[in-house]
Amino acid sequence: MSFEFSKENEQKFQELLTRYPKKDSLMLPSLWMIQHQESWISSVAMEYLAKRLDTSPMNVYSVASFYTMFHLEPIAKYNIQVCKTLSCMLRGSEDIKQHIENKLGIKAGESTKDMRFTITEVECLGSCGTAPCVCINDDYIQNTTPQIVDKILDGLK
């Protein structure tokens, strides 16, 4: 197994080098690029990044593991993130979570066997005025109802 930036990401990396006083700042942008390229961040990719940033693999791992949005293990195709924080809870996020769990036959924190869906409970998505909020991969679904969830999940390939 090996890893290197795609041509497009390499170009982006070079461009970003000109935008920060030190290349240390490229840590988060680079981790994002790796995750977009591979859908998760492997230890091989972290070793690669360490070399590119003149730091230790351990340091890359230390940073990557701090941020909840970086996946250090392979993840399902669709990551269904249900916001559980107060405003969403008051507006029925528990029912939404229950509904998705029943529909997919898994609990929050688990993935379906075919690795199509993962359910994750997440903290405040900043969508309190349009609660409850569910985020599938990058897309927010606001004012969620069980019917909306059904429609969207059934439409996913």
Q: Please, which residue, 7 or 19, has the CB nearer to another protein?
A: 19
**Alpha-carbon gap, residue 59 to 106, rounded angstroms:** 34
Q: Please, which residue, 4 or 94, has the CB nearer to another protein?
A: 94
**Alpha-carbon gap, residue 141 to 137, rounded angstroms:** 11
**Alpha-carbon gap, residue 13 to 33, rounded angstroms:** 9
Stretch (H or E) spanning 152: helix 146-155
**Binding to another protein by residue 70, rule CB under 8 A?**
yes
- Site size for another protein (CB under 8 A): 41
From 5-13, 98-106, 107-115, 116-124, give the range in contact with another protein by CB under 8 A: 116-124
Work out which of 3, 9, 12, 32 binds another protein, going by CB under 8 A.
Answer: 32
Shortest gap between Cβ of 73 and another protein (angstroms)? 16
* Residue whose C-alpha is closest to residue 88's, from 126, 140, 41: 126
**Binding to another protein by residue 27, rule CB under 8 A?**
yes
Pairing between strand 117-122 and 139-141? unpaired
**Binding to another protein by residue 34, rule CB under 8 A?**
no
